[in-house]
Structure 1
Amino acid sequence: MLNLPPALNDALASEVADLCWCWRLSRRDGLQLGFTQHDAALTLDGLVYQPVGTASLPDAETQAGLAPGSGSLQLAFQDEAISRDDAQQGLWNDARLDLLQTRWQNPIDFAHLQSWWFGEIRMSRRGCEVELVERQHKLEQVIGRVFSRACDASLGDARCGLSVDHPAYALGCDQAFATCRDRFQNTLNFRGFPYLVGNDVLLASPGSEPVRDGGSRGLG
């Protein structure tokens, strides 16, 4: 249950409320930025929250239990506070967003309502769209590598090594070894295990085949 300061409870109960939304962005390097829907800057707990100009109100929802909630946030590159270079260099990766509510007439009283973390960041000409995820999202992330026949690199990244100027780049990649070999001629950087045996071989039982020469089977 969310416990609100008495002043906020009174404001919610009144016919005319002086409430507004605020949200705080916190990077892993310690940088914090504050934004508010109010038409003037507010100071909450020592941080100045600027009127909306480089951000829009987050569109996100939470889920019950361990299911992670998700949403999105639109950011515009309008000043040095949120720059394209910082986003491309990964400085906003896994940043935290805290949603707050306060009384603009007396911002000493505020409530922390929800937190999200930055997921995928999709760049555009004038800004970026940020995927917002709850902390439960970490439970779905794979730790270490998974041994599979498919490649686990992303097309064009450092592990793949393929240049975006490659004539077949626009065709995309389905992570298959044959595609890497025939379309991109990039098998030296293939990050899968194309000759990994399947469950059919691992679970095979003795058969009636006449040949018993000790050779491998099922690897074709």
Structure 2
Amino acid sequence: MRAFFNRELESAATFWRVFRRDGVALGFSSHDRDLAFAGLRHRTAPGMVPAAIRMTSDLSEDSASVEGTLSHDSISSDDLAAGLFDNAAIEIGIVDWETLEHHSLYSGVIGRVEDNQRSFSADLLSAKHVLEQDLVPRTSPTCRAVFCGLGCGLSSHRFTQRVELNEVDFDFNQVRFSTITSASYVDGQLRFLSGPQTGLVFGILSANGDWLTLDRPLHDGLIAGTAAELTEGCDHTLGTCSSRFDNAVNFRGEPFLPGNDLLARYGQ
């Protein structure tokens, strides 16, 4: 393997690759011309550089961040706002722009992205961030299980259907599907199967007639006829679990457990 920075003058540049969840792969380099290696063309983007990379040999989280200008056609503020880069896999490394020998320094996923219209910054999360998740369940009045997930016991196929988009309202961030009972999908999920936001999962905040309000911005390239997959929602209360889904036996919550304010609470 090539040893970098072992001499006074180096022909080295930074490269980074972004693998979006919709299958799009993008490559960039800090060099002043495009570099093609490892099956991907890395376009010149000298304004976008790794700001800091920290790697450890223990189980603590490795961290990195990337800052840059939104000057490249491959990354736009609309795409960032639409969530096309959310949880995208990323790889950062160094490449010899003469011999194209390269070495990866960091790999992870894109976390929080901040955009102020002139520049953007992104926090990167390594695989170690999974180790920091708290796996000990906490008591709660609502169900902690993911609807149709582990612990719920219901089948997602029973509450999921494939539909086609009828209309989009970009002003109110709403979509309309005329063949559904909209109220059943509040707190549910929408996943587009084609179009500019393929594979992204949207949360459904509310329903108004045939219209569904989503929790993230819609891409302006979205058109009627786009295939989508709708999954019904659950408000995770015991009443809904029992009356609507007849699934109280799998309820993962403690709705009748006294809270911390028991002694200070007024009598009923």
Corresponding residue for 2:103? 111
Task: Give 1 or 2: higher helix fraction.
Answer: 1
> In the alignment, is residue 197 of structure 1 matched against residue 258 of structure 2?
yes
1:120 is aligned with what amino acid?
A: R
For the residues of structure 1 that align with 2:22 and 2:62, how far apart are their CA atoms?
25
Which of 110, 122, 143 is equivalent to 1:130?
A: 122
For the residues of structure 2 that align with 1:128 and 1:114, how far apart are their CA atoms?
20
Corresponding residue for 1:90? 83
Structure 1 residues 142, 77: closer, same or farther in 2, change over 3 A?
farther
> In the alignment, is residue 70 of structure 1 matched against residue 63 of structure 2?
yes
- Indicate the RMSD between aligned Cα atoms, in angstroms: 3.9
Deviations 1:34-65 (A, max 9, x none): 22222222111121112224522242212332
Structure 1 residues 22, 79: closer, same or farther in 2, change over 3 A?
closer
Q: CA deviation at 1:98?
A: 0.9
For the residues of structure 1 that align with 2:25 and 2:123, how far apart are their CA atoms?
19
Instruction: Decide which structure has the larger Cα Rg and report it.
Output: 1
For the residues of structure 1 that align with 2:6 and 2:70, how far apart are their CA atoms?
38
Corresponding residue for 2:13? 20
Structure 1 residues 145, 128: closer, same or farther in 2, change over 3 A?
farther
User: Does the residue aligned with 2:49 lie in a helix, a strand or coil?
Assistant: coil
For the residues of structure 2 that align with 1:147 and 1:58, how far apart are their CA atoms?
40
Which of 126, 131, 137 is equivalent to 1:139?
A: 131
Structure 1 gap segments, 5+ residues each:
150-157, 162-188, 202-216
Structure 1 residues 123, 196: closer, same or farther in 2, change over 3 A?
farther
For the residues of structure 2 that align with 1:114 and 1:71, how far apart are their CA atoms?
8
Structure 1 residues 77, 12: closer, same or farther in 2, change over 3 A?
closer
- Written as runs of structure 1 = structure 2, the 5 A alignment for 1:144-155 is 147-148=139-140
Structure 1 residues 26, 15: closer, same or farther in 2, change over 3 A?
same
User: Does the residue aligned with 1:57 lie in a helix, a strand or coil?
Assistant: strand
For the residues of structure 1 that align with 2:135 and 2:23, how far apart are their CA atoms?
26
Structure 1 residues 102, 124: closer, same or farther in 2, change over 3 A?
same
The normalised TM-score by structure 2 is: 0.50
Structure 1 residues 142, 42: closer, same or farther in 2, change over 3 A?
same
Identity %: 26
1:197 is aligned with what amino acid?
A: P
User: Does the residue aligned with 2:105 lie in a helix, a strand or coil?
Assistant: strand
Structure 2 gap segments, 5+ residues each:
142-202, 207-234, 238-253
Number of paired residues? 166
User: Does the residue aligned with 2:130 lie in a helix, a strand or coil?
Assistant: helix
Q: CA deviation at 1:129?
A: 1.7
Q: CA deviation at 1:71?
A: 3.0
User: Does the residue aligned with 2:48 lie in a helix, a strand or coil?
Assistant: coil
For the residues of structure 2 that align with 1:12 and 1:74, how far apart are their CA atoms?
23
Q: CA deviation at 1:219?
A: 4.9
Q: CA deviation at 1:159?
A: 8.2
Corresponding residue for 1:99? 92
